[in-house]
Structure 1
């Protein structure tokens, strides 16, 4: 009997070690060695190899042999792992459709005179983001925020919301996942505008005035980047 690929994927990710390594490899955005994967979750190389091969069998990773960093050294070329392009519907990366649904619902209920639906959605998204940022600031009490420190603080929030933030430079965070996909593919102008307003509002709530949310669409990633206002 043939096993459904989605069932195999979910079963493989039910183990916390495998899930941790899979998340690490997704975020690395490059082939990862067994040693790196093992260090990421704090286990031995031998145990990591076992779990990584399970992820390969489930269709979540593919394995190959590649010189790390593009430099060939004497000895055996290390085995490396990277995510497949398989469209397997599991909760990694995380989708947050309820956030978008809540924003759109509030926009419909509060749409003002002379305001169209898109403008209402952007307004509500900015307010939601600002409330979230203010709550995070009240909890963290970070004081005055420069660009780098603000980006570090917001990375934790964005990770919880499924954006998969990745530092492209000390003053730029790329968002490797859109938590509103595939809805964004159906209405990119609307969803990207809401996304930008939500993240800009979050920066306002954090009082991170040295960082801005800018539209910078890339295939397969979120349409917004967070950059220092001086970049």
Structure 2
């Protein structure tokens, strides 16, 4: 099982209020906790507490063992006790690039020309940024003459780094599963999607991907731009 899948299971287990309260109690306890102590902390039966505790063990949030409370040796089998496990619960969420968008908008304000509107300045700056990024990528990769498939592969590496989550639908068509400017794009799609489109179009230009075009093709939950072979 992948790390993300394990983390998702852990988070799902904590969606139950009783489990979450017992887990918090055990995390704060100075010593491993018995089933009786955990049950008492949330006001349920020992049997029900055991069910929830073992579920938390199964998903990796708790570790279980056997020990006498307080370390005092007694006759008979030691009770089962629980302590927090060293699980680092981190879930990969869609990457956001609000810093890039903020830089573009800041430069648009600083560099706006007298005859430009604010949105026009933002689109111009986005294109300048994209073109410069494409030229830098071309200098780094030195790919030579680029056909469509190779150009989309080179573009995909940049898209991955910036969190666009590119998916190759066909050898000559790439869909972007994630909008790194969301949720700001939802507030002003015309501006933010326009900036995104200008950036990606100019990136392809700077890269020398003359056979690739970036088109606006918005879909819910995805990036508004699609890359494909120029017709």
Normalised to the residue count of structure 1, the TM-score between the two structures is 0.64
Structure 1 runs (4+) greater than 4 angstroms displaced: none
In 2, distance between residues paired with 1:139 and 1:90? 32
Asked which structure has the greater CA Rg, the reply is 2
Measured against aligned partners, the alpha-carbon deviations of 1:150-169 in whole angstroms (never above 9, x if no partner) come to 00111011000010000111
Per the alignment, residue 120 of structure 1 pairs with 121
Q: How large is the Cα RMSD of the aligned pairs?
A: 2.0
Shift in alpha-carbon separation, 1:59–1:174, aligned structure 2, 3 A: farther
Measured against aligned partners, the alpha-carbon deviations of 1:124-161 in whole angstroms (never above 9, x if no partner) come to 00000111111111010000001111001110110000
2:8 pairs with one of 55, 73, 84: 55
Per the alignment, residue 73 of structure 1 pairs with none
- Gapped regions of structure 2 (runs ≥ 5): 14-89
3-state DSSP of counterpart to 1:213: strand
Does the aligned pair in 1 maintain the 2:8–2:91 contact within 8 Å? no
- Gapped regions of structure 1 (runs ≥ 5): 1-16, 20-51, 61-88
Per the alignment, residue 35 of structure 1 pairs with none
Aligned-residue offset at 1:96: 0.5
Check if 1:180 corresponds to 2:181.
Answer: yes
In 2, distance between residues paired with 1:204 and 1:18? 38
Aligned-residue offset at 1:228: 0.4
Normalised to the residue count of structure 2, the TM-score between the two structures is 0.64
In 2, distance between residues paired with 1:184 and 1:146? 32
Aligned-residue offset at 1:90: 6.3
In 2, distance between residues paired with 1:59 and 1:115? 51
Per the alignment, residue 18 of structure 1 pairs with 3
* Aligned length in residues: 155
